[in-house]
């Protein structure tokens, strides 16, 4: 197994030659296939829900499952465990447990898009827009928007319930799951609270670097990287010093990952990100990138940025104007410097971490892929 930088940075996240990504895809497909007859037994009018979930789950970087799997390996679980002891299918179990994080993420994305009124997700219409469009196409008499949002809330709930179901029925024994559950529970609480703090700062119009970083820590760094690593390590029964090292690697890397996201949200190529150019600007996200820019802006630059940030009608020339400000002030350069610094911190901790060499190599490749990606 090699971990060369993949040809399309970010997409394969170092897993291009690994079977894990395909196995996670297969586990998700199998789980949803088991649910399908339950839903259709209730009513065949639920078919559009299944189709919408299929479309959403077909996409995605499988980032959290990858970190979960490599947390498992970092804690000492080896490929030889593939068959496991009698009655326990260890490899299948960790793949299912890791894949359940994609359902949790699907729930978060669907609900986030409702909260942010986002039109697109993974290059497709967001869930609430999809069902709003179905409503219009059917010519139903009630309000289309409320129907779209209501359906998205329910589908997000379904994905959240299913993520727990998939984790608990992953096939690993209760002792492993009991340890993993403690991480899973904490992670869910953290990401929901982090999301609230994010929304709170957005609505207050605050944009200080330190408060934005606190949101990044709970909403992104812990949720995307540290806790998936901890989950895998806990399922494997890893020692406390492994978890501590995974925190030292995962939290700074998670911050760097989110800062890359901030940059892509402003400067990303729509053909690669699947989102319109400058979408974060239109949504008015109070990112660390924005905070770094405002710290460095002249009063005129700050006023121009504050005026257009969150303007739903922001067009391409408007996006270009704000990009110029973010570049000219040095906000972009400061953000790139932070990404490099946090990534470096993560790599240094990883270099000294008490983990098997294969896991170290994989986590190094993931660090590059997570912070140098273009989507």
Q: Which is nearer to a second copy, 151 or 273 (CB)?
A: 151
Q: On the CB side of 1, how many CA atoms lie within 13 Å of its CA? A: 14
Burial of 62 (0-12, 13-18, 19+ CB in 10 A): buried
Residue 345 · residue 304 · CB < 8 Å = no
Strand, helix or coil at 214?
helix
CB of 191 to a second copy, least distance (A): 9
Q: Which is nearer to a second copy, 186 or 361 (CB)?
A: 186
CB of 134 to a second copy, least distance (A): 10
CA dihedral angle for residue 269, residue 273, residue 277, residue 279, rounded to 10 degrees: -150
CB of 98 to a second copy, least distance (A): 18
Which residues, other chains included, contact 101 with Cβ-Cβ below 8 Å and sequence gap of 6+? Answer: 64, 65, 68, 163, 228, 231
Q: Which is nearer to a second copy, 91 or 222 (CB)?
A: 222
> Helix axis angle, 357-372 relative to 63-74, nearest 10°?
160
Residues that bind a second copy (CB under 8 A): 35, 38-39, 42-43, 45-46, 49, 107, 111, 114-115, 117, 135, 140-143, 146-147, 149-151, 153-154, 156-158, 160-162, 164-165, 168-169, 174, 181, 185-186, 188-190, 192-197, 199-200, 202-205, 214, 218
Q: Which is nearer to a second copy, 16 or 35 (CB)?
A: 35
CB of 285 to a second copy, least distance (A): 12
CB of 103 to a second copy, least distance (A): 12
Q: Which is nearer to a second copy, 74 or 183 (CB)?
A: 183
CB neighbourhood size of 14 (10 A): 26
**Strand ranges (E), 86-229:** 120-121, 124-125
CB of 309 to a second copy, least distance (A): 12
> Helix axis angle, 357-372 relative to 331-352, nearest 10°?
170
Q: Which is nearer to a second copy, 166 or 256 (CB)?
A: 166
């Amino acid at each position: 197994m090699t971990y060369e930088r993949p040809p399309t940075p970010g997409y394969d996240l170092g897993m291009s030659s690994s079977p894990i990504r395909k196995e996670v895809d297969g586990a998700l497909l199998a789980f949803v296939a088991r649910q399908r007859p339950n839903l259709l037994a209730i009513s065949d009018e639920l078919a559009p829900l299944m189709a919408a979930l299929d479309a959403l789950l077909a996409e995605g970087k499988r980032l959290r499952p990858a970190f979960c799997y490599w947390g498992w390996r970092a804690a000492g679980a080896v490929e030889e465990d593939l068959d496991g002891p009698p009655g326990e299918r260890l490899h299948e179990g960790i793949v299912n447990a890791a894949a359940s994080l994609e359902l949790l993420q699907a729930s978060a994305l669907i609900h986030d898009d409702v909260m942010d009124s986002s039109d697109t997700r993974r290059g497709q219409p967001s869930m609430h827009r999809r069902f709003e469009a179905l409503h219009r196409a059917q010519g139903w008499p009630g309000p289309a928007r409320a129907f779209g949002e209501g359906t998205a809330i329910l589908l997000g709930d379904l994905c959240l319930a299913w993520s727990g179901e998939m984790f608990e029925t992953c096939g690993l024994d209760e002792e492993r799951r009991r340890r993993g559950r403690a991480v899973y529970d904490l992670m869910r609480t953290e990401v929901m609270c982090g999301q609230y703090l994010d929304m709170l700062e957005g609505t207050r119009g605050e944009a200080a670097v330190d408060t934005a970083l606190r949101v990044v820590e709970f909403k992104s760094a812990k949720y995307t990287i540290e806790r998936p690593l901890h989950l895998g390590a806990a399922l494997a029964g890893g020692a406390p010093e492994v978890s501590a090292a995974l925190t030292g690697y995962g939290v700074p890397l998670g911050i760097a990952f989110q800062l890359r996201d901030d940059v892509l949200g402003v400067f990303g190529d729509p053909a690669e990100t699947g989102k319109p150019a400058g979408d974060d600007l239109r949504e008015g996200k109070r990112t660390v990138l924005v905070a770094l820019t405002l710290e460095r802006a002249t009063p005129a630059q700050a006023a121009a940025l504050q005026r257009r940030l969150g303007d739903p009608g922001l067009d391409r020339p408007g996006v270009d104007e704000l990009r110029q400000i973010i570049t000219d002030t040095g906000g972009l350069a400061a953000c790139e410097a932070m990404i490099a610094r946090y990534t470096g911190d993560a790599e240094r901790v990883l270099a000294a971490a008490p983990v098997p060499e294969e896991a170290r190599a994989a986590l190094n490749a993931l660090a590059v892929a997570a912070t140098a990606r273009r989507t």
